[in-house]
Amino acid sequence: MGFTGFPDEAFLFYEGLEADNSKTYFARHKQLYEDAVRAPMLALTDELAAEFGAAQLFRPYRDVRFSKDKSPYKTHQGAFVDLMPAIGLYVEISAAGLFTAGGVYSTASDQLARYRAAVDEDLSGKPLEAIASTLVAEGYELGGERLKTRPRGFEEDHPRIELLRHKSLYAGMRFEPEEWVHTAQVRERVERTWRACGPLVEWLCTHVRGSELPRR
What does the pLDDT average to over 74-82? 97
Per-residue confidence (pLDDT) for residue 65, from 0 to 100: 78
> How far apart are the C-alpha atoms of 53 and 87, rounded to whole Å?
13
The tens digit of pLDDT for each residue in 83-141 reads 998 999 999 999 999 999 999 999 999 999 999 999 999 999 999 999 999 999 999 99
Comparison of pLDDT for 39 and 65, the residue scoring more: 39
Q: Are 208 and 128 in contact (CB under 8 A)?
A: no
What does the pLDDT average to over 173-194? 95
The residue type of 179 is E
What does the pLDDT average to over 151-162? 93
Give the model's confidence band at 215: pLDDT under 50 very low, under 70 low, under 90 confident, else very high.
low
Per-residue confidence (pLDDT) for residue 211, from 0 to 100: 84
Per-residue confidence (pLDDT) for residue 64, from 0 to 100: 77
Per-residue confidence (pLDDT) for residue 134, from 0 to 100: 98
Range from 44-48, 128-132, 147-151 carrying the lowest mean pLDDT: 147-151
Q: Which domains does the chain have, with CATH numbers?
A: 8-207 (3.30.930.20)
User: For 142, how many CA atoms within 13 A lie in the half-sphere containing its CB?
Assistant: 19
